[in-house]
Amino acid sequence: MVVQLFNTAIIMDEKVETLKAELQRVREENNTLRLMLEVLNSKCTKLEIHLQEINKAQHKGMSSNQIGSVTVPPMFDTNKRPRLELPTAKKPLQIFVRTHPKDDSLIVKDGYQWRKYGQKVTKDNASPRAYFRCSMAPMCPVKKKVQRCLHDKSIVVATYDGEHNHAAIHESSSSTSKGSSPVVNNLPLMTSILNDKEPMNIGLALSGWSQTDHRRHCEDAMQQNNNNGGSNIRIEEYVSSLIKNPDFSMSLAEAVVRTITGQQKQQDINLNLDLPEE
DNA sequence: CGTGTTTGACCAGCGC
DNA sequence: GCGCTGGTCAAACACG
């Protein structure tokens, strides 16, 4: 009886240690995410300064959208919510989205409405590739391909092709489709504008990464984007549209909670995750 | 009934 | 020409 109690105590101690370690790991993840948010906020600040410069220039009678050598998209002309700008066909934009590992749908919420027109299993990836056309405007030429990452099934890769000829809608909880497929509550992890077939860079994947890895990869990705010349403008636009999205913080928090700890620990995480309110 | 998804068939490009 | 592969079409079906 005493021995049994002793063994139970040992098991409890082990569980406590495990939970402590898990808590420590979650805190480290939390710190990493804070760092990411700081980076995003700094970019937001930069963009706000940029916007102010544009407004000043307009007040001074500058007629065009040109600021120096940078062409400013029309969305900065008004106070409208920034539109998700997509690249031309020459440089397909790839967005990596982490979804719930058990979720096998191929829906990426990006502010546009898509109609699926085909699905194929490709040679290099066992996961089927879904083909979507933008259905928000009848003549919109934009297409996208969505396929799960070969190495990490919880990441879906959305490849955009073409340029929208209309504005995006803001959808916080609606699906991209009206059909039977379930809604994936997800958010882009990393965008990458690819030239031809340069290796893909899966950014900000949360599972199984140490804090150092997260931070280094995050900084590398940001640095890479900063060095990306003209593409950086579009990346920043995208980042800006994300952080101005009132649901972004909540989506981020939810995705992090699900990814790191699973649904059971959501309440505990929410206590520690003091994300800035938008 | 309108809209969107599914899925097999079809087509074009490419290499051999 | 043939086979392989990726991309698209369109009829059938599902859903609200």
Given A161, A184, A209, the domain boundary residue is A161
Number of domains present in the structure of chain A: 2
Residue with nearest Cα to nucleotide C4 C1':
A123
| Whether residue A154 sits in one domain with residue A100 | yes
DSSP class per residue in A109-147: -SSS-EEEEEEEE-TT-SSEEEEEEE-SSTT---EEEEE
Q: Which of A114, A138, A161 is the last residue of a domain?
A: A161
| pLDDT tens-place values along chain A, 278 residues long | 566 766 777 777 888 888 888 778 767 766 666 666 666 656 655 665 666 665 555 544 433 333 333 333 333 333 333 333 333 334 567 777 777 666 666 777 677 888 899 898 888 888 889 999 888 776 788 888 888 887 777 788 888 887 777 766 544 433 333 333 333 344 455 555 444 333 333 333 333 333 344 344 434 444 444 444 334 444 445 555 554 454 554 555 555 555 444 444 444 434 343 333 33
Q: Quick check: is A172 in a domain?
A: no
CATH of the domain at A102: 2.20.25.80
* Residues (101-160, chain A) with CB within 7 Å of strand B atoms: 113-120, 130, 135
Instruction: State whether the beta carbon of A117 lies below 7 angstroms from any atom of strand C.
Output: yes
State which residues form the domain around A21.
Answer: 1-55
Structural domain includes residue A156: yes
CA of A124 to C1' of B14 (A): 17
Kindly write down the DSSP assignment for every residue of A181-246, as one continuous string.
SPPP--EEEEEEEPPTTPPP------TT--HHHHHHHHHHHHHHHHTTTTHHHHHHHHHHHHHT-T
Bridge-based pairing of strands A66-67 and A70-71 is antiparallel
Determine, yes or no, domain membership for A255: no
- Provide the positions of strand C that have an atom within 7 A of a protein CB: 4-10, 14-16
Establish if A153 belongs to a structural domain.
yes
Determine if strand B comes within 7 Å of the CB of A224: no
Give a yes or no: residue A83 inside a domain: no
- Reported pTM: 0.47
